[in-house]
Amino acid sequence: MSVRVLVAKVGLDGHDRGIKVVARLLRDAGMEVVYTGLFQTPEMVAIAAIQEDVDVVGLSMLSGAHLTLVPLVVAALRERGSDIPVVVGGIVPPSDIALLIEAGVAGVMGPGASGESVVATITEAAESRGHQSLAKAESSKPPTRELRIGPWDSSPI
């Protein structure tokens, strides 16, 4: 069974090229990816993650609002009884990583993170929740490779 990942841009950050590259990278690694689009609220991300029954939430943060918005996403998930891990990628100063981990974030990736490290971070977060990774799963059918873009984002990937 493939890992299901919801990737989102929270707040007013309109830079979406990187998250689209990451979405394709995760898809190509055999994960099922749901991209919510730009300008999401923490509540919208939490509701979508629960409704889509994802294994991991990935947030792209380039606006500098990571210390404000990321804890709100984690809180919105926990308030709804969800233990879905949250990982963050983007422009995060090294001094802020410990604060995000304290806020409940499962992993943080900075600029220049390799594709392998992105896949590994998402896989580790999914496994921490009890998901069996593709490498460990004993399934005869090939993994699903799907990239869904919500109706609120009509730009091509």
What's the rounded Cα separation, in Å, for the pair 88 and 1? 24
4-149: which CATH architecture? 3-Layer(aba) Sandwich (3.40)
For residue 87, the cross-strand partners are 58, 107
Say what the pLDDT of residue 129 is. 87
Lowest-pLDDT choice from 6-10, 63-67, 79-83, 132-136: 132-136
Listed by start position, the domains of the chain span 4-149
Give the tens place of pLDDT for each residue, 96-109.
Answer: 999 999 999 999 99
